[in-house]
Amino acid sequence: MGKAAAVEPEISEVAVIDMGPLGDGASGQAQVASALRHALETAGFLILTNHGVPQDLIERTFAEAERFHDQPMEAKHAVLMNEHSNGYMAMNRYNVRTSRVSESSAKPDRNEAFFMKRERAPDDPLVKAGRRFAGPNEWPNDLPGFKETVLEYTGAVEAMTQRLLPALAVSLDLPSDGFSKAFTECMFTFRLSHYPPVPVQEAGQYGIAPHTDASFMTFLPQSGVPGLQIWVGEDKWLDVPYVPNSFVVNAGDTLQRWTNGRYKSTPHRALPPIGQRRFAIPYFLAPHLDTVVDCLPSCQNPDNPPQYPPIAYSDWLAWWYDRNYNTDDQADLAEDPGPKQANG
């Protein structure tokens, strides 16, 4: 907390947290809350088991990621990313430039991806208002079952997050419904990524270069193909251990901002897979677009004032996307909205 909280933690392991006790009432919720608090104050990463998302559905969604990326390039280009950042992003078009660990010398990330957000009807209030990031998803025409499986999967993950959020609120000394209003209709981004194999690891070449996530929390089911690493100090990286039937979860910049640096948005990266393809299906959870992210009362005091000014999540998201998905590579990009951390 304060400047002291900005020091990166010493990370030697990633905690495995069982969601099963959430079914045991207040005592189970307190048990999970305590585990979340420790993991997010130190590593910023954790592994969830007994999460309730059917393994068959996870495997089917991985298969849809492979099926999408196996299409001819012409078919993928038919659903190119639109103004709401939904759709296909081609290889070498992505590089996070806003993170405190961004590498100016890093090559463009070696991955391609398909993005979607909450599916909304034409009469949805945000759609009718023309709000950015509430626009239509770009669905492929020639992949029967793709849309249905993706929507089933994102619905199941959202249900899991709704079970976890009360314990997360308790971990921050809030009432169990402390995040209910912000996440009743959450904002999320779902990404189906493909990392093609490389023969050897080259300097400055990543599947995804070192970065932090802009979202509130990220939920990534493990596939068994290695690559994800957590930053544990100067030039030191820790492989995320493989736990079958689990989700790797990490805090994003929004949660770090909301908690005044108490919960860590830890830098991470993905190395290109050697000799085999890797698919990843991360779900980036975030609050409703109109949520104002302001320092939580339990994360500030006279000796530890707020490090960041309040900001609407829609404004934060627009800034982040414009910096990191700017295809024109402009030099005069907008400044970060709010003061940086001491280690920024």
Q: Which two tokens stand for residue 132?
A: 């950015």
Within a domain: 336: no
CA proximity to 158, closest of 181, 178, 187: 187
Closest CA to 8 of 239, 264, 213: 264
**Residue 257: domain span:** 4-324
175 lies in some domain = yes
In a domain? residue 168: yes
| In a domain? residue 338 | no
Cβ within 8 Å of residue 224, ≥6 positions away: 242, 244
Does 342 map to a domain?
no
Q: Could you give the C-alpha distances from 264 to 9, 29, 254, 281, in angstroms and in order?
A: 9, 21, 10, 22
pTM: 0.90
Query: Residue 86: inside a domain, yes or no?
Result: yes
Report yes or no on 339 lying in a domain.
no
Can you give the pLDDT of all 344 residues of the chain as single tens digits? 333 344 444 567 899 999 999 999 999 999 999 999 999 999 999 999 999 999 999 999 999 999 999 999 999 999 999 999 999 999 866 555 555 555 555 677 889 999 999 999 999 999 999 999 998 999 999 999 999 999 999 999 999 999 999 999 999 999 999 999 999 999 999 999 999 998 888 878 899 989 999 999 999 999 989 899 999 887 899 999 999 999 999 999 999 999 999 999 999 999 999 999 999 999 999 999 999 999 999 999 999 999 999 999 999 999 988 877 654 433 333 344 443 333 33
Is residue 330 included in any domain, yes or no?
no
Q: What is the CATH number of the domain that holds 214?
A: 2.60.120.330
Partnered with residue 211 across adjacent β-strands are 268
Q: How many domains does the chain contain in total? A: 1
Closest CA to 182 of 86, 258, 264, 84: 258
